[in-house]
Structures are given as C-alpha cells and as structure tokens.
Amino acid sequence: MVPDAPFERPSSAASDAARLRPASEGRERAAMAAVLEVADHVGLDAEAAGIWRAGSSVLVGLPVARVLGRVDDPRRVDAACRQVIASEVMAERGVPAITLTGPADQPVLTEAGPVTLWRWLDAHGVEASPEGLGRLARRLHDATRGGVEGVAPYDPLTAVAAELERAAELGLTDERDLGLLDGHIARLRATWPAPEDDPLGVAVVHGDLHRDNAIVTDEGLVLADLELAGVGPAAADLVPHVVAVRRYDASPRVLEELMQGYGRELHVWPGLEVMVEAYELWVTAWSVANRGGSAVLAAEAEVRLDHWRPGRDSSRPWSLR
C-alpha cells in the first residue's frame, strides 16, 4: 500500500519516549496510576512511562511496551466502549484502525476513568493528505454500508454535553456562555437529520476525521481517536473539512481534494448544515473544556465562543488544535 504522505523516518521507542512528560496535576497523576496498574496486571513493561497528551482524555505512553493507554472521563464509559467496538468492527471489515492490546475485556473501569490500551504505531512525522483522508473515509463507509449491528448511532451532541460538564467543573467559563452552548445542543437535537436522508448513505462513521486523527505509517493511513464513531450519515466524515474551510481559514482546495479521494461529490442538503453546526459546537466545547491548559487555549476558547454569542460573531479564524 502506498503511504498517503511523503516518507519520513518512522518513530521509535527512543524518539517516542522523548515526547512524553511527567504527569503535571491531579487528573494526569490519577490517569498515570490507573494505566500503570492495568499494565502491571497484564505484564506490560511500564519503564519510561509518561503523559503523551491530555485533553478530553489522558493518553499515557508506555514506550518500551509500545502501548498507549487512554483514560477517558469517568462519566464517558460510553466513549470508551464506542472506541472498543468501532476498533473491533473496523478490524473485522479490513479498515485500517488502531487496535487494542492487553486485557481481553476492555474498557477496564478504574476510579480515574475507563482505561483502554492500544498498540502504539510507528508513525511518520508527516500529516495525512486530504485526498488520503477521503480514500480512507470511503473505505470505511463501503465496508460498513447500512450500518453494523452493535455499533451505536453517531451522536456527537452527547460528547458536547460531556465537555460542557467538564468545563463547568473547571469554573473558567461564564455560566451564561455554558448555558448558551447547552441551548444549542437542544436546538440541534430537535433538527437532527435522519441518516437515510444523506445522499451518501448510512455507514459507520469516524465522526472526527481530520489530519490529526489518521496516523501515517509504512502501510498507509490508520484511523485513530474513535470516541465519536457510530452509525450515521456518511457525510459526517466530510464535515470536519467543511468546518476547516469555514472556520479555520483553510483553502477550499482541501475540501476539493478530500472529495477527489472519496470519489463522490459533496451534496449540500439540510442535514449537512445541522452536522456542520454540531461539529462546530463540538470543537467549541472541547476548546472551552481545555482552556485551562495554556494562555493560547484560553484565548482560542474566547474566539470560538464569540461565534455563538449573540451579536459577537468574530471574523477571526479558529486555530487548529
């Protein structure tokens, strides 16, 4: 299989270990302890373990064992289960995606949250191309056309609500802004499209398909971060690129290249616009819930909130996370 990005040396245990950092606060320390406990239980080498990334979930790297432990919010057992089921379905249908390792039964429920352990891929330090993402989306949709029994419906608004709960606990966002976003959840639920109305059909969708959620390997692109995966309108996997053009100041060419890879035209229909708004709400809620991470994240949260505040729509482009 031809990679979908220029060749660059893949990562190694040493180079990946250098990207890790110590746990810096209570949530990260609890996640680290949970992953180490699960790893010890199944005999995985946890030497040089560290935090890979922290956001909606906390990723803990075990570079020697070549494992990434993911700890989701304790309230998001559903998100962890979605990832497990989606990964298994994709493996059965021949769609390249991250795969579990370690315990037979996952997620493992801990006080820190549901833990899942994933094989750490040897990734190239390059981004997936829009055309490559289009081909990967089409491959997923063709392999799961009509949906798959046991896979839950695509439901990004539940994920938005969970992020707003996290933001409320953080206490850095005005309650009026959180209430405003919560109101949009209700509005979008009331107008949510029937999946069968999508001209592209119904399939298992990734739900957050952008360049950071597909890993470039020697064998090609591999889907990662499956927390929004579910059965829904196939166009849901094209929405992130629509939003990239509308909000992130991306060139319209990226959407054209995505559709070239997908092999179909993007049909504009009422349901597409609802899903675009839902995705905009999702990335806004993510930004608000993670605003405490840095001054840059705090400023970005305000830019995105301005889009939803009456009379305050900002013309400033959003920044890709």
Please write the tens of the pLDDT for every residue from 294-320: 999 999 999 999 999 998 767 789 997
Neighbours of 237 (CB within 10 A): 30
Predicted local confidence at residue 84, as pLDDT? 98
Please write the tens of the pLDDT for every residue from 254-276: 999 999 999 999 999 999 999 99
Predicted local confidence at residue 12, as pLDDT? 57
Yes or no: say if 120 and 66 are a contact pair by the CB < 8 Å rule. Answer: yes
Yes or no: say if 221 and 95 are a contact pair by the CB < 8 Å rule. Answer: no
Per-residue confidence at 3, pLDDT binned at 50, 70, 90?
Answer: very low
Please write the tens of the pLDDT for every residue from 150-165: 999 999 999 999 999 9
Per-residue confidence at 10, pLDDT binned at 50, 70, 90?
Answer: low
Task: Check pLDDT > 50 for residue 4.
Answer: no
Please write the tens of the pLDDT for every residue from 168-223: 999 999 999 999 999 999 999 999 999 999 999 999 999 999 999 999 999 899 99
Q: Poorest-confidence range of 15-19, 92-96, 136-140, 228-232?
A: 15-19
Task: Check pLDDT > 80 for residue 17.
Answer: no
Predicted local confidence at residue 11, as pLDDT? 55
Please write the tens of the pLDDT for every residue from 94-150: 999 999 999 999 999 999 999 999 999 988 878 999 999 999 999 999 999 999 999
Predicted local confidence at residue 86, as pLDDT? 98
Yes or no: say if 235 and 210 are a contact pair by the CB < 8 Å rule. Answer: no
The number of CA neighbours under 13 Å toward the Cβ of 292 is: 15
DSSP letter assigned to residue 236: G
Q: Provide the phi-psi class of 97: left if phi over 0, else alpha when psi is between -120 and 50, else beta.
A: beta
Per-residue confidence at 23, pLDDT binned at 50, 70, 90?
Answer: very high
Pairwise CA distance, residues 287 & 198, whole Å:
29
Predicted local confidence at residue 320, as pLDDT? 72
As a whole number of Å, the end-to-end CA separation of the chain is 29
Task: Check pLDDT > 70 for residue 7.
Answer: no
For residues 168 and 11, the model is more confident at 168
Predicted local confidence at residue 61, as pLDDT? 97
For the segment 221-233, the average pLDDT, to the nearest whole number, is 97
Yes or no: say if 78 and 43 are a contact pair by the CB < 8 Å rule. Answer: no
User: What residue ranges define each of the domains in the chain, with the CATH number in brackets?
Assistant: 13-119 (3.30.200.20), 130-308 (3.90.1200.10)
Pairwise CA distance, residues 318 & 314, whole Å:
10
Yes or no: say if 8 and 125 are a contact pair by the CB < 8 Å rule. Answer: yes
Predicted local confidence at residue 2, as pLDDT? 35
Task: Check pLDDT > 50 for residue 1.
Answer: no
Please write the tens of the pLDDT for every residue from 56-85: 899 999 999 999 999 999 999 999 999 999
